[in-house]
Amino acid sequence: MKTYFRLLSFAKPIEKFAIPYVIATLLSILFGTLNLTLLVPLFETLISKGGASITNVADKATSAFDITTQFKDFVNNSIVKNGRSQTLNYVCGVIVSSVLLSNFFRYFSQRYMEDLRVHTLLNLRKTVFNNVMNLHVGFFNNERKGDIISKVASDVQVVQFTVTNTLQVIFKEPLTLIFYILVLLSISVKLTLFSLLVIPVSAFIISKIVKRIKQQAKEAHESFAKMIGFLDEALSGIKIIKAFNSTERIKDKFHKENIFYSNLNRKMVRRQQLGSPVSEFLGVLMVSIIVWYGGNLIISNQPDALSTSQFIAYIAIFSQVMRPAKALTDSFSGIHSGIAAGERVLDLIDTKPALVNKTAAESINSFEKSISLSNVSFSYGDKEVLKNINFEIEKGTTVALVGPSGGGKSTLMDLIPRFHDPKSGSIKIDGQDYKDLTVESIRSQMGTVNQESFLFNDSIFNNIAFGKPDASIEEVIAAAKIANAHDFIENTEDGYQTFVGDRGNRLSGGQRQRICIARAVLANPPIMLLDEATSALDTESEKLVQDALNNLMKNRTSIVIAHRLSTIQHANKIVVIDKGEIIETGTHQELIQKKGIYNKLIELQAFND
């Protein structure tokens, strides 16, 4: 129940939808019950030869339904004054009006519930997505994208239906059941108490049927998440898969998981579907027993036997009792699977955002002096990645981070825009501690070009203007020219309105990278972060991109991780990092003279080239 009430909180402000829903539902149930209650005077009108039986029925009616009693009195008087034929017209007219009102209010009841359902889905999906976007970068290194997508897309949908449907079931169906039972009791207490035995028996049997659904729902989610993950990896790595002739192996891998998921769903659906026929069979069985029992009372002329019209009406009303009872039992399976999905969604919501996303008191609007790192250490879990990092980056200078692969360069680069916070030590910009500044203001001072040139499935113009959505075409073209991208853009099919495809797959690696550089140029940040921006390119593309990078770094503070050391020889400072520690610091010439790790890397790369 704790999980359910947490999920229900996403329906707030629930009273906006719940109050009209309750009113409409009450009126719908009232008129719906009245429809069946009016069967008694209808049958009396058709069967009786006078008004005596009508009076008898009115005497037995419960005070809870005064309107019904009054209608029966009206029928009794009408038969005497107007005859049975005219009275039948009146009765049918009232029943039709009651049915019309019942369906009118039922429509509005369903409409308000649908509004609540959509409202809940909107709030829940918004909360989940917002929290995912606020999580630190390291979270996504440890999680499957397929699992996250499954929770945001599939599980949220299941939870939405569970919350609203359960709310509907626990209010509407029990209330309908109570109204019907009151009517049945007004006709025959003895027969009603006997007939109601089917409800607890049915609930007990259904609970046994759906006992394992929650566990199966969890397994099905995990399997679905794996399939989404396989699909994402297959689409992202389609060239590699085909290059290594692994298409059939990947298809088999996906197919096996698909079979497992399908079998789980089949078992779940079978259990869910079993509840409906079982409850229906029990209902028909009970109606048959009532017909047998009540019919024998009428045939044998027992003192407490019902009249023929009462008995027919009783059977008609009792047959309707099974509908809300069946809905209640059928909802058990949906609740189990929905709560299981809800727990997974809440796990994602409860994942703590990174500390860097907390709102700070101050903002930095311009970069004037320097960035300094003092005794900075960082670790992923128990694995220490950076140890006691100390260096300073002066404004307008270029600092290169080099060293063996896995030494901690990229992790150090991620600390600068606060994708992570250091475990110890401090990072300051213009003398102000990063933790006292808003993340947005820090990142507004920085532009990033990574090794992976990521583009959105949009036009070239919108990709370049991503950091400045209100940019004019002139500004975008100017940025593209600085990035050596204007000429090839003009030669594309639709120029700057050409769509680049998923992750920019309609462009070459060099073209994608130059658009990323143009994006950074247009944002015009004072600080540039370049993480091996040319390492994945061929020689010709690398020259064009490197020229673009040189244009980009002019009059800016730049922090560079370089694959080819020849590209950073003119850096103002080179920081050599190995095993998470700074081993050497200096200019290119100073480090060559030291004959240390940097010199060995230069010699090794020269030999390989």
- Residue burial 307-324, b: 16+ Cβ < 10 Å; e: rest: bebbbbbbeebbbbbbeb
Query: C-alpha distances in angstroms, 557 versus 359, 399, 400, 525?
Result: 26, 8, 11, 9
Number of C-alpha atoms within 13 angstroms, CB side, residue 223?
19
Model pLDDT for residues 145-183, shown as the tens digit of each residue: 667 777 777 777 777 666 667 767 777 778 888 888 887
pLDDT at 495: 92
What distance in Å separates the CA atoms of residue 56 and residue 52, rounded to the nearest whole number?
Answer: 6
* Residue predicted with more confidence, 45 or 591: 591
pLDDT at position 358, please? 46
Q: How far is CA 505 from CA 134, 573, 602, in A?
A: 28, 36, 34
Q: What is the pLDDT of residue 360?
A: 47
Following CA atoms 603, 604, 606, 609 in sequence, which dihedral angle do they give, to the nearest 10 degrees?
Answer: 170
Residue type, 262: S
CA nearest to 38, candidates 10, 61, 13: 61
Give the per-residue pLDDT at 70: 64
**Average confidence (pLDDT) over 451-461:** 84
Range with top average pLDDT, 135-144, 211-220, 230-239? 230-239
* Angle at alpha carbon of residue 382, lines to 378 and 387, rounded to 5°: 30
The per-residue pLDDT of the chain, averaged, comes to 77
Residue 595 Ramachandran class (φ > 0 left, ψ -120 to 50 alpha, else beta): left
Q: What are phi and psi of 607, to 5 degrees?
A: -65, -45
Judged against a pLDDT cut of 80, whether residue 492 lies above it is answered with yes
More confident residue, 47 or 517: 517
Segment 56-81 shows an average pLDDT of: 58
Residue 53 scores a pLDDT above 60: no
pLDDT band at 473 (very low <50, low <70, confident <90, very high): very high
What is the percent of the chain where pLDDT is above 70? 76
pLDDT digits (tens, 9 = 90+) for 367-403: 777 889 899 999 877 788 899 999 899 988 989 999 8
Q: Pick from 2-16, 51-65, 82-96 the range whose average pLDDT is largest.
A: 82-96
Per-residue pLDDT for 570 more than 80? yes
DSSP 470-524: T--HHHHHHHHHHTT-HHHHHTSTTGGG-B--GGGTTS-HHHHHHHHHHHHHHH-
Task: For residues 475-501, give the mean pLDDT.
Answer: 90
**Which tokens in the block code for residue 52?**
């005596």
User: pLDDT value at position 60?
Assistant: 42
| Coil/strand/helix, residue 371 | strand
Confidence of residue 330 (pLDDT cuts 50, 70, 90): low
Assign 239 a pLDDT band (cuts: 50, 70, 90). low
Is the predicted pLDDT of residue 359 greater than 50, yes or no? no
Q: Check if the beta carbon of residue 517 is closer than 8 Å to that of residue 483.
A: yes
Write the pLDDT tens digit of every residue in 408-433: 888 898 888 888 888 899 999 888 88
| Digit-coded pLDDT (tens) for 511-564 | 888 888 888 888 888 888 888 766 656 666 677 777 777 777 777 888 988 777
Cα 536 versus chain centre, distance: 35
Could you tell me the CA-to-CA distances from 144 to 130, 140, 154, 230, 347 in Å, in that order?
Answer: 18, 7, 15, 10, 15
Percent of the chain at pLDDT above 90? 8
pLDDT the model gives residue 475: 92
Residue with tokens 């360069």: 409
pLDDT for 51 equals: 44
Distances in whole angstroms, Cα of residue 408 to Cα of each of 137, 389, 412, 575, 582:
15, 11, 6, 12, 10
Position 302 confidence tier, pLDDT thresholds 50, 70, 90: low
- Partnered with residue 400 across adjacent β-strands are 560, 574
Against a cut of 0.85, is the pTM above it? Answer: no
The pLDDT tens digits for 177-194 are 888 888 778 777 777 777
- Would you put residue 476 in left (φ > 0), alpha (ψ -120 to 50) or beta? alpha
- Top mean pLDDT of 308-312, 319-323, 491-495 is at 491-495
Does the pLDDT at position 489 exceed 90?
yes
- Mean pLDDT value across residues 334-355: 67
Q: How far is the first Cα of the chain from the last one, in angstroms, to the nearest whole number?
A: 66
Q: For 539, list phi and psi in degrees, rounded to 5.
A: -60, -45
User: Do the beta carbons of residue 51 and residue 79 sit within 8 Å?
Assistant: yes
d(CA 515, CA 531): 16
Q: What are the structure tokens assigned to 49, written together?
A: 């030869």
Distance in angstroms (rounded) separating the CA atoms of residues 354 and 435: 12
80 pLDDT band, cuts 50/70/90, is confident
pLDDT: is 602 or 76 the higher one?
602
Cα 108 to Cα 102, 105, 557: the distances in Å are 10, 5, 63
Give the pLDDT score at 338.
66
Cis peptide before 13 (omega within 30 of 0): yes
Task: Give the DSSP per-residue string, 526-583.
Answer: SEEEEESTTTTS-HHHHHHHHHHHHHHHTTSEEEEE-SSGGGGTT-SEEEEEETTEEE
* Domains located in the chain, CATH noted: 2-350 (1.20.1560.10), 370-608 (3.40.50.300)
pLDDT value for 399: 92
Residues 574 and 592: beta-carbon distance below 8 Å = no
The one-letter code for the residue type at 41 is P
SS3 of 432, please?
strand
Spacing of C-alpha 432 from chain mean position? 38
